[in-house]
A and B are shown apart, each in its own frame.
Chain A
């Protein structure tokens, strides 16, 4: 099989096809170029998402105070520099949508799955380069539609990223539920198609195109997490698509899947027999696995980077795979913990509490295994390594409060408060973002053939790390004081007046943290052109991507694809002079492969 692939690949890539600008940079079918397209699109969407969050923070900290910045960027939505309640909810909604789907799903998975799957398993390209290209361009179109929704008359979708009906279904309930919501649903439907094409491609590639010797138990953990993530995506995204289609039917064709007994603006609507709770079930059947779609690739990237930079094998390779599989399985049977107070049967609440708290076990195993990997290592504290250690830190801090939210009895009281906001931002937002940054710093030399500036990387990490805790740690406490999320201003409740100074502190941390991302963007874009030329294997890593030449070529390896003789984590193995042994180095005489 692989011999055939090699022969075939040689035919294809031995002679250079004439590539035009369009086939090389725009409608490229090369996985490395598609990875870069995903990366840059994801980063631009990231800037949009983060700027939105900063606008919201300004509103929360200084409600009603005129702000020239807001007036400039929001225009008619912020008359006299004070944002309107409607646009606040729209920002909440689109910020969530962009960050979860466009940045941390497509941006993160799309970049690193595309870049690393063929390179690390030893394949010339993805199983289908064409589908891969289509996947990216569908993603691009969905981004454009989502951003375009800011320019419609009644504003973009504003029902929260969870778009619960009836709020999202009835244009008379909210301005954003008109054309804005139509665009949101259209954008998401296209996004899901893109995600499905991408995921299928990843799964097929990992299963079929591994090079000789690359057994499943020799795969780097990055590939394992991308593989499992793709499977979760294939299982759960279609359910969201079905929910979106049913919602479109309710909105436009008069069906009653999610709507019943509604009296609004002086009239009774015809809907009867549907249930919003059904939508919640369908939404969270994707929504919760989505958390792991976001997080698992970041954990995989971290595993790889921590092992490489500790100069040590990742501790408990099999346990790491087992915990990823366990998390993936459990993630599909815990969605109800978002719905403890939705009105569903309390017995279901008990079941979901049980399954939810079980997830803490594989998560704990992962955290301890990371810490043990550091133990007695020879840590090379590169920026990528710092972000990986930072990820473990925020993963622990954010993950632990899940014990409270997953417990139905406690969730009654903190449900939909800022406690939730703090929890999920730390455990999936910041953690996944750190994984994203770690991956960019680590694989930048592979993507662009140049190094990023490490000192700017250090400045970026430390300020981001301090600000991330400064923003989200105190936020737990205002949540425990009972402050609900998604409030345009808290001034309607004197009860919360004593929290206003905390909110100012949080906003200041957010603004500083947000501003310092400029350092990253400067570093990223300037290094593409002026960075120091990279060596072939700058981090002295074992995985196959570093055996390819620095200059990208179609087909990845100029000659034959290397054969794999060992797992990816032979770092500091006794009996070797170097502290790393790449996967394509044959076993020495008498050397045994570790029974990992």
Chain B
């Protein structure tokens, strides 16, 4: 039935367009003998003005987007030590882009308006100018050189793991469709692991080598806790397909690749509790809860359960397509003080005690 209606609608649209074209053509008859499907002065004029209208539209949509969505969670309130340097680079890049965009779009659309064709006018024969071309080759070279240099410094400082800072080693383990984390324990050395050692009967779900002395005090959890101010070195593994460990608030991301161990390191700088008190985050949470309350009303009217109120938490998301439930592969991250972290850690089972023997 829907298919039939769709086809009918399509036919009606075609007929409507046909009628409109016919009417328009009839109003045009007798005006001119030349080919009326080629732009004439009037078309040039109308479209020239529309070009200016379109320029205003581009500016307007830019302003609306920046005003409404410009206070981006990914441009402020980073929660890691390297975060501000990324944000600074991002803002510089955005300013450069914004400036170039504003100027070039203006020139493009303004010229399209200003030099719209008129009968009898002749265009300027202007085919080449080495000086001009040199200018707009050199200016991008200088600007890009600046961006490249700053970018490379930032990148290198993020990716270089500072071994002297004695980072806490944590393994992030991905599988369809959830995350696990393995802490290295007091020795800060992860036990060897391979998927071939996985033994579901013994609850050895990560394939940790049971005979490895380093493995004995490892701790496997499903919620990631991190002490504030302490560098963490993540070692990523995946057991099945590619996943990507994306921790947007920490400006951190690395793929998890079956068959190899990847790594990423950062230092969290704000506890979850502190972050919840940041005014922008509070506003964002309040706004989200307002939306959720609205949506809940509808759900309740349909006899469904209301949505739970939202509370801010750091998250680890999967950001590499990994199958059916890719959209819901997440793990909560809690950043807390060292004392809170130690207390939590004490409650966790060590690997040697977690096996079903």
Which residues of A pack against B, CB within 8 Å? Answer: 68-69, 71-72, 85-86, 89, 92, 159-160, 164-167, 170, 173-174, 259-264, 266, 268, 272-277, 310-319, 341-343, 346, 349-350, 353-354, 357-358, 360-361, 364-365, 367-372, 374-382, 385-386, 389, 392-393, 396-397, 400-401, 403-404, 407-410, 412-417, 451-456, 458, 462, 465-466, 469-470, 473-474, 476-478, 480-482, 484, 486-490, 492-495, 497-498, 500, 502, 518-519, 522, 526, 531-532, 534-535, 538-539, 569, 571-574, 579, 594, 596
Contacts and interface: CB of A to CB of B under 8 A. Distances in A.
B39 A380 contact: yes
Nearest to B314: A495
Contact of A407 (B147, B236, B330): B147
B128 A596 contact: yes
Contacts of A534: 35
A409 B78 CA distance: 14
Interface in B66-113: 69-70, 72-75, 85-86, 89-90, 93-94, 96-97, 100-101, 104-105, 107-109, 111-112
Contacts of A497: 288, 291-292, 295, 310
Contacts of B125: 312-313, 571-574
B31 interface: no
A374 B110 CA distance: 10
Contact of B200 (A266, A315, A498, A579): A266
Interface of B: 2-3, 6, 10, 13-14, 17-18, 21, 24, 35-39, 43-44, 46-48, 50-51, 54, 57-58, 61-62, 65, 69-70, 72-75, 85-86, 89-90, 93-94, 96-97, 100-101, 104-105, 107-109, 111-112, 115-118, 121-129, 132-133, 136-137, 140-141, 144, 147-148, 151-152, 154-156, 158-160, 175-176, 194-196, 198, 200, 207, 236, 239-242, 244, 246, 248, 251-255, 257-260, 262, 284, 287-288, 291-292, 295, 307-308, 310, 315, 317-328, 330
A407 B148 CA distance: 7
A353 B148 contact: yes
A306 B279 CA distance: 51
A451 B39 CA distance: 12
Contacts of B100: 396, 400
A342 B317 contact: no
Given A260-B259, A498-B284, A381 B39 contact: yes
Contacts of B58: 393, 397, 469
Nearest to B104: A396
A377 B124 contact: yes
Contacts of A404: 90, 93-94, 97
Contacts of A452: 37
Listed residue (A342, A353, A367, A407) with the most chain B CB atoms within 10 angstroms of its CB:
A407
Given A375-B124, A502-B69, A518-B10, 4 more contacts: A349-B159, A361-B137, A412-B158, A412-B253
A343 B262 contact: yes
Contact of B198 (A263, A276, A318): A263
A93 B288 CA distance: 31
Residue among B70, B151, B207 with the highest chain A CB neighbour number at 10 A: B151
A409 B327 contact: no
A350 B239 CA distance: 29
Nearest to B295: A497
A343 B260 contact: yes
A315 B121 contact: no
Contacts of B3: 72
A208 to B, nearest CB: 29
Contacts of B93: 403-404, 407, 410
Contacts of A370: 108
Contact of B326 (A480, A488, A490): A488
A486 B320 CA distance: 8
A489 B61 contact: no
A422 B291 CA distance: 25
Contacts of B57: 466, 469
A169 to B, nearest CB: 9
B96 A342 contact: no
A487 B43 contact: no
Given A493-B330, A498-B287, A484 B74 contact: no
- B interface: dominant SS: helix
A215 to B, nearest CB: 17
A264 B319 contact: no
Among all A-B residue pairs, the 10 with the closest Cβ atoms = A260-B259, A343-B262, A346-B159, A451-B37, A482-B248, A263-B195, A409-B154, A492-B328, A494-B310, A376-B124
B322 A167 contact: yes
A526 B18 contact: yes
B54 A466 contact: yes
11 contacts: A92-B321, A259-B258, A310-B115, A379-B48, A400-B100, A409-B151, A413-B86, A477-B72, A481-B69, A484-B246, A539-B38
Contacts of B287: 498
Nearest to B135: A368
Nearest to A340: B155
Contacts of A160: 321
Nearest to A256: B259
A505 to B, nearest CB: 10
Nearest to B58: A469
Nearest to A318: B128
Contacts of B101: 396-397, 400
A357 B21 CA distance: 47
Contacts of A493: 315, 317, 330
B117 A409 contact: no
Interface centre among A264, A381, A572 (most CB of B within 10 A): A381
Nearest to A376: B124
A532 B36 contact: yes
Contacts of A369: 133
Give the most central of B44, B116, B260, B327: most A CB within 10 Å. Answer: B327
Given A173-B240, A319-B133, A365-B133, A360 B140 contact: yes
Nearest to A445: B37
A451 B35 CA distance: 9
A365 B137 contact: yes
A262 B74 contact: no
A571 B123 contact: yes
Contacts of B255: 341-343
Contacts of B200: 266
A392 B104 CA distance: 10
